[in-house]
Amino acid sequence: MGDDGKTVVERYEGTWKEGKMSGEGKYMYADGSTYEGEWEDSQMHGKGLYIFANGNRYKGDFELDMKHGKGELVYMNGERYVGEWQRDNAEGKGRLEYVSGDIFEGY
């Protein structure tokens, strides 16, 4: 938030191609979340790390601004999912580790 209490401030540090975020870069969102990694046509695309405003962290593949491919999501409560993603959803082979120590592995 800006000094006036109303302005939304977001920032990108990285490379540009034809006026679009492209290549390597870091984006800081107004809500406090950040993405650092590869960009294509101003979208998260390739390998990267997204840290959510609540502290959850996803590291892995992105396509068209979505988690897509292989990646790991670590929740603030200590739970962790490692596996396949399709269009922002955990889908395919994966492993979910609960705080209790229980593990679910499968499809």
Region of residue 75 (phi > 0: left; psi between -120 and 50: alpha; otherwise: beta): beta
Structure tokens, 11: 């920032």
Give every residue of the chain whose pLDDT is below 70, as ranges: 1-5
| pLDDT attached to residue 2 | 53
| pLDDT attached to residue 1 | 47
